[in-house]
A and B are shown apart, each in its own frame.
Chain A
Amino acid sequence: MDIITGILATAVLAGGVLALAALGEVLAERVGVFNLGVEGLMALGGVTGIIAVTIIPNPFFGFAMALVVGLVFGAIFALATVTFRANQVLCGLALTMLGSGLAVTVGKPYSGMPAKAQFDKVIIPYLSDLPILGRALFSQNILVYLIYLIIPAVISFVLFRTRHGMNVRAVGENPAAADSAGIPVTLIRFTYVTIGAALGAGAGAYLTLAFVPSWSDGVVAGRGWIAVALVIFAGYRPFWAVFGALLFGVITALGFVGQARNWPIAPPFLSMLPYLGTIAAMILPVFVWKRLRLSFTAPAGLGIPYFRDER
């Protein structure tokens, strides 16, 4: 029983990183912008969080500063891809290189030091006493509750239950039609890409302030890319993205448990599991649930810059 609780608790904690980054990417892709810079944004957010708590030892301050840095770099990315309409794949890769390079350069003096402040566990009374699930689900840091429940609920509600959300989705599906209906395409794209980027950077701060908790060179380790893959796997739906992230949390947790219990598999092979699992998750559903994939297709306008004069 203890081992299951342990795996679940780690899975929830580890999955939170992917979930928050994937939620940010859902926002960007829903308005039709493919942001491949998540990896770089996470690195920037992670290092910002660590530096901020070194100055003021409060995890909320660290997380907030990471969001601000995410907004700034998200605005730069949105300026390039939405306002200037530059190639999204290139700008995304550029943002990943710029962000990762900058974060490692700036973070050098902080590398390997434990975080000066980190998110504490918030134990929910009664629920946390439940057998097996209690400690795994209801004795986590506050961000976990935000990431798994509140943020996806807000995004789902706005996207699927409000008029504004319908406009937002229209911008991602068919920007030309949205434009002729009077919806401000550029403004909506710019706003959502920027907010999405802030969540990506927030995921980085979660990584360094709640999960690891410290900064080192390769700490992001491709999680940004796994988050991008998750969004496709989740069919661009917020709660599916969170659920997918939890699945990957389980895979990551299995790797940790394997190392701790000396399973006869070398640690590098256990570390490969999340990447191999992601690839499997991208390929298998196409064969298994063909019908499901139809309703899980990407927004029709994804990846295509919108030019009014070429309508």
Chain B
Amino acid sequence: MALHFVRSPVVSSARALTARVIGFVLALGLGALVLGIAGFDSLHLGRQIIVKSLGSQFGLEDLGLLYTPLLLTGLAVTVMARMGLWNIGADGQFYLGAFVTTAIGLFIKGPEPFMLVLMFFAGAAGGALWILVPTLAKAYAKVDEIITTLLLNFVALLLVYYVATGPWRDRVSGTTASTGRVPYKMPDFFGSLHWGFVIALAAPILFALALRYTKWGYEVRLSGANPDAAHYAGIPVRRRLITIMLLSGAIAGIAGMLEVAGTVHRLQGGISNNYGYLGVMVAVLARGSALGVIAGAFLMALILNAGIILQTQGLTTSAVLALTGLIMLFTAIADQFAHYRLVRPRAATA
């Protein structure tokens, strides 16, 4: 017999990580090759990306502004992944969080600290509200959450598009595609980076602690690992599922709130910048670990920032989306390849 592959059901973290790095490098290599054929100088582009995003304070601030929403949408998807569920609707929940925040910012007057707290909780409530129907449908009728959460993204986008170009249109500066400026602003933390960054960085840590050290966290982990066993042990699985899904929506809503109150300061059609979909990618990179989100979101922020730098060199956001898809495909394959080991069978004994 010749060499053959044997599959092992469990993989060590080192093997998994090695497989991923190889997958990631291959995906980037393939992307660079395609860009090279299209007439771009891939090596030069790569150097530009590293120098511009990590080499200056402006670069780091921009990176932080991209990192903030990705931390939260990545966490939102991860929270639900802990229960074996997919939230592909973080984009819509993000839009709703931004929508509610803008509504309050434009139409209610009050002292800034109070208003920011109000906007924070309203943004969370908006995101949770947007996932309410998929949650109830999943909990009481076992309707697939992937599609219901996803379809609501389109509804949210249309809603935001409608208010931003219609009733809430900016009448001062005359732009047609966004609302007026929201007068309440998250205080700055580092240069143009606002305190929302700290909130976004703390969120995965808080969730990891809650999961590890509280009874609720234990019940969530058990319900995710084996719903039948959890039910048998007397854990209210359905109630945990509902809270987890609403929490996931709320986190994505907060991401939208921070984007309006901290970074963009107004509501516009493309405000989500695909953060919800990229959050799925972050969760995949994080392998369901809340702390892994911190690393996964950083990598995704680097890729996204690279995309913005590439745009100045003549590439589009859609090229970045395609590259992200390629990386995700290679990551998924690499995760599977990590299970295989090349085995040389011992010589047959007679």
How distant is the Cα of A13 from the Cα of B316 in the complex, in angstroms? 33
Q: Does B73 contact A (CB under 8 A)?
A: no
The secondary-structure label for the interface of chain A is helix
How distant is the Cα of A283 from the Cα of B151 in the complex, in angstroms? 13
Residues of B within 8 Å of A87, CB to CB, are 332, 335-336
CB contact between A90 and one of B284, B318, B319 (< 8 Å): that residue: B284
Contact B325 A98, beta carbon cutoff 8 Å: yes
Chain B, range 161-187, C-beta contacts under 8 Å to A: 161-162, 166
Q: Does A31 contact B (CB under 8 A)?
A: no
Residues of B within 8 Å of A90, CB to CB, are 284, 328-329, 331-332
Number of residue pairs A-B, CB distance < 8 angstroms:
136
Contact A279 B151, beta carbon cutoff 8 Å: yes
Rounded to whole Å, the gap between the CB of B176 and the closest CB of chain A is 14
Contact B141 A222, beta carbon cutoff 8 Å: no
Residues of B within 8 Å of A282, CB to CB, are 137, 143-144, 147-148
Stretch at the interface among A53-61, A128-136, A270-278: A270-278
How distant is the Cα of A104 from the Cα of B316 in the complex, in angstroms? 9
Contact A97 B321, beta carbon cutoff 8 Å: yes
Chain A residue at minimum C-beta to C-beta distance from B326: A98
Residues of A within 8 Å of B141, CB to CB, are 283, 286-287
Contact A279 B133, CB 8 Å, known A89-B86, A229-B147, A229-B151: yes
Chain A residue at minimum C-beta to C-beta distance from B162: A268
Q: Does B209 contact A (CB under 8 A)?
A: no
Contact A275 B155, CB 8 Å, known A89-B146, A101-B318: yes
Q: Does A194 contact B (CB under 8 A)?
A: no
Contact A272 B329, beta carbon cutoff 8 Å: no
Q: Does A164 contact B (CB under 8 A)?
A: no
Chain A to chain B: the 10 pairs with minimum beta-carbon distance, closest first: A101-B322, A97-B325, A98-B325, A101-B321, A104-B318, A94-B328, A94-B329, A268-B162, A90-B332, A286-B141
B residues in contact (CB < 8 Å) with A: 6-7, 9, 86, 88, 133-134, 137, 141-144, 146-148, 150-155, 158-159, 161-162, 166, 277, 280-281, 284, 316, 318-326, 328-329, 331-333, 335-337
- With A90-B329, A90-B331, A279-B134 already in contact, 6 other A-B pairs whose C-beta atoms are closer than 8 Å: A89-B86, A90-B332, A95-B325, A97-B281, A98-B329, A229-B147
Q: Would you list 5 pairs from A and B whose C-beta atoms are within 8 A, ordered by A residue?
A: A95-B329, A101-B319, A104-B321, A105-B319, A272-B154
